[in-house]
Amino acid sequence: MNRSVNLVATLAAALAGLAQPNARAAGPLPVLHADPSRTSVSGLSSGAFMSVQYGVAFSSTVKGVGVIAGGPYNCAFVNFGGIESCMSGAPSGDLSWMAAQGFASLGQIDPVAGLSKLKVYVFGGTKDQVVHPPVVAATRDFFHAAGVPSKSLAYVDKLPAGHAFIAPSFGNACATNGTPYIDHCTVKGKPYDQPMAILQHIYGTLNAPATTLSSTVRPFDQRDFANAATSLDSVGFVYIPKDCAVDASACAVHVVFHGCKQGAQSVGSDVYASAGYNRWADHNRLIVLYPQVVTSQTVPPNPAGCWDWWGYTGLTFQVRSGVQMSAVKAMVDRLTAPK
């Protein structure tokens, strides 16, 4: 039986590779020696849950977290109703805080005292029909319970946005809940620039965005970090501004986690090219990492191409040793490797 299962998995992986010619063309993620103390993360939907998980598990090396339509840490395991409660119910931020304390006491995540230093941006659109506002409010409550001071916790909950990244000049109308899950909204007659809001909250005042990018998004081989059984795609993407390619010592890494049905497999370049992060990264010495997961019907069961926030890759999905968590951390470590 095990031999048959392994054969099926091997054939599936081979067919997936044939269907993605870029996988063979993608080179390794470069070693850049960026500043490891200034790493930050953000994401939408399952990517927002993943941002919370990453920020909590690796808080000693994370400066800030951006959460767009996502719930609190370990949500599905501590709330009655599981996944459903963490999308359309009213989960408890306090229970998530207790869970984080428990994992920290076992040494499975970084000490929770480190959470109080984070800069945290939490966003929920009033028209979001996928992850409802009470879920996002629980994320705010979780970080409050963790000791993040009010001045470090931006909570944006009044915009009539759907379930989406909010880009200043790309995507659907503001209240849309559909592919590619990027909307554009206005506030007081001006486009709401969510990447700016996140990055400025985390890093402070930014230089003006680039009107013409100094570089291009490049693919890299994710098989250096994880196999197909983790649901990671064979290819990820990274934007490295020209200045950081020359000398990355003053550059930081920002990780962007896409949502369900939003990886490059599903929406092409829309997230990594058009969500709006790269233009701010270019003039602010930020390397933007876009790791990717793909859909899978069998092993593992991930039909919507979501990041794992409920355990489809195993019971350690939310701690440092989780297969997706450790893979992304290894990517960040390569970009921030000491000289």
CA max distance for the chain: 62
For residues 270 and 260, the answer to whether their CB atoms sit within 8 Å is no
| Number of neighbouring beta carbons within 10 Å of residue 266 | 19
Query: pLDDT band at 25, cuts 50/70/90?
Result: confident
The predicted-structure confidence for 69-90, as pLDDT tens digits, reads as follows: 999 999 999 999 999 999 999 9
For residues 308 and 328, the answer to whether their CB atoms sit within 8 Å is no
Query: pLDDT band at 298, cuts 50/70/90?
Result: confident
Residue 97 has pLDDT above 70, yes or no: yes
For residues 112 and 146, the answer to whether their CB atoms sit within 8 Å is yes
Q: Please tell me the predicted confidence (pLDDT) of residue 228.
A: 95
**Helix axis angle, 133-145 to 46-57, nearest 10°:** 10
For residues 291 and 76, the answer to whether their CB atoms sit within 8 Å is no
Query: pLDDT band at 1, cuts 50/70/90?
Result: very low
Q: Dig out the tokens for 59 from the structure.
A: 């808080």
Q: Positive or negative, the Cα torsion across 70, 74, 80, 82?
A: positive
Mean pLDDT (the chain) is 93
Residue for token pair 């270019």: 282
Supply the DSSP symbol for 109: S
Residue for token pair 């970009």: 335
Average pLDDT of the segment spanning 41-46: 98
What is the helix, strand, coil percentage profile of the chain, to 5? 40, 15, 45
Residue 7 has pLDDT above 70, yes or no: no
- The whole-angstrom separation of Cα 63 and Cα 76 is 25
3-class state of residue 98 by DSSP: helix
3-class state of residue 208 by DSSP: coil
Average pLDDT of the segment spanning 92-105: 98
Residue 22 has pLDDT above 60, yes or no: no
Residue 225 has pLDDT above 80, yes or no: yes
Hey, what long-range contacts does 21-25 have (CB within 8 A, 24 or more apart)?
22/219, 22/235, 23/221, 23/223, 23/234, 23/235, 25/219
Q: Please tell me the predicted confidence (pLDDT) of residue 14.
A: 38
Q: Please name which of 68, 17, 111, 40 lies closest in space to residue 287, comparing C-alpha atoms.
A: 40
For residues 163 and 179, the answer to whether their CB atoms sit within 8 Å is no
Q: Please tell me the predicted confidence (pLDDT) of residue 211.
A: 96
**Active-site residue numbers?**
45, 128, 163
The predicted-structure confidence for 148-196, as pLDDT tens digits, reads as follows: 999 999 999 999 999 999 999 999 999 999 999 999 999 999 999 999 9
Of 24-33, 157-166, 198-207, 210-219, the range with the lowest mean pLDDT is: 24-33
Supply the DSSP symbol for 329: H
Of 21-30, 158-167, 243-252, the range with the lowest mean pLDDT is: 21-30
Q: What H or E segment, with its residue span, contains residue 122? A: strand 119-123
Query: pLDDT band at 3, cuts 50/70/90?
Result: very low
Residue 233: HSE in the Cβ half-sphere, 13 Å Cα cutoff: 29
Across the strands, what pairs with 286? 252
The share of the chain scoring above pLDDT 90, in percent, equals 91
The share of the chain scoring above pLDDT 70, in percent, equals 93
Query: pLDDT band at 106, cuts 50/70/90?
Result: very high
3-class state of residue 146 by DSSP: coil
Q: Please tell me the predicted confidence (pLDDT) of residue 297.
A: 86
Residues in the chain: 339
